[in-house]
Amino acid sequence: MPTRAVALATVTRGGLPESVHRIHIAVADAAGSLLAAAGDPARVAFLRSSAKPLQALPLVESGAAAAFGLDDRELAIACASHLGMPMHTAAAESLLHKCGLAATDLACGSHAPEDGASAAALQRAGRAPERLHNNCSGKHAGMLATCRRRGWPTAGYLEAAHPLQAEIREVVRTTAGAVPVLGVDGCGVPTFGLPLLAMATAFARLGSGTGLSPARAAAAARLGAAMARHPELISGPGQVNTALLALHGEALLAKGGAEGVWCVGLRRRGAGLGLAVKVEDGAGRAAGPAALAVLVALGLPLAGDASLAAHLRPAVTNTLGAVVGELVVTLPEGFGDGLQGIIAGT
């Protein structure tokens, strides 16, 4: 592919550039055609938590969601990178309970809630963080439910050789149209390295159902609807993923991941449309704004929600709460030419 200018996220302080993050972007349709790009759309990156809607597909396709009577909250938490708030741990625990499982079955390990108030409440109560507080506990609960439905052992479910992980790997391969490179995610399960173009293709298919089997398209639609109905579970208050789904969840499916990855699939009829973002240095602070900048270039309105507009150009503040700078994403000249307003076709 020809060399393209990268997108840039410039962080200013006192009116001067203080840091610059280089960003690679791919926009594709469900057929895998590259529609717009910045930097290297063939760059391979790990999906990290952007893979969660893909990893949750077997939860629905296997019949586990129906058999165990899972509701939208429990399906949403299976796709989440949550903050460990009580509403998050309750949803993950409910999912486990309906399947006859418990938090002790989770193999994700524990860490303090990423929500400061929840972490402080635990500390005041003299309680140590539990596995349910892990931001991936919902994903792991969904994986365990799938194992229970399939009749597979729950022990060792995070190992690459386990039949559950083999099924998820095949889901990723067929949905993205590329063989993933395997790594180990922060929570212990396999994670998948794919070219940005393949990531964008996968999310174009997830969002629209185009290019998927009827069963997988229905599963993707069910998960997308659950995420849209409960955006507060996908991340948490004040987070860009929650803000985007709260305002536009009926039009798109979006999931961010660690190390500066973000993926979005538009619920667009016909060819579908997906985008994938990778911040070259892994800076998470630039990934969400970059994804929003691409969506704005494609015609997504942000004027209706001040908090979402603030995520597009996040302020840099000091410990006194004063604004001392901002982060601004600049797309290459001509990026998305011919695609402006395409979101209106969703």
Q: What is the pLDDT of residues 272-304, one digit of tens each?
A: 899 999 999 999 999 999 999 999 999 887 766
In angstroms, the Cα distances linking 85 to 71, 81, 119, 254 are 19, 11, 8, 21
Token readout for 257 is 């991941």
Alpha-carbon distance of 64 to 277, in angstroms, equals 32
Mind listing the pLDDT tens digit for each residue in 207-225? 999 999 999 999 999 999 9
| Per-residue pLDDT at 175 | 98
Q: 47: burial class by Cβ within 10 Å (0-12, 13-18, 19+)? A: buried
In the chain, how many domains are there? 1
CATH of the domain at 150: 3.40.710
Q: Which domain holds residue 263?
A: 7-345
Q: Phi and psi for 139 in degrees, rounded to 5?
A: -60, -45
| Per-residue pLDDT at 3 | 64
| Per-residue pLDDT at 307 | 76
- Cα dihedral angle (219, 167, 65, 96), rounded to 10 degrees? -140
Q: Is residue 1 situated within a structural domain?
A: no
List, for the chain, all residue ranges whose pLDDT scores fall below the cut of 70.
Answer: 1-3, 269-270, 303-305, 341, 343-346
Q: Is residue 158 situated within a structural domain?
A: yes
- Give the residue among 55, 117, 119 at the shortest CA–CA distance from 81: 55
* Three-state secondary structure call for residue 337: coil
Q: Is residue 41 situated within a structural domain?
A: yes
Residue type, 313: R
Q: Is residue 182 situated within a structural domain?
A: yes
Q: Is residue 2 situated within a structural domain?
A: no
| Per-residue pLDDT at 308 | 87
Q: Is residue 335 situated within a structural domain?
A: yes
Name, in order, each residue with C-beta under 8 angstroms of 16's C-beta and a sequence gap of 6 or more: none
Q: Is residue 221 situated within a structural domain?
A: yes
Q: Is residue 296 situated within a structural domain?
A: yes
Q: Are 288 and 8 spatial neighbours (Cβ–Cβ below 8 Å)? A: no
| Per-residue pLDDT at 304 | 62
Alpha-carbon distance of 338 to 341, in angstroms, equals 9
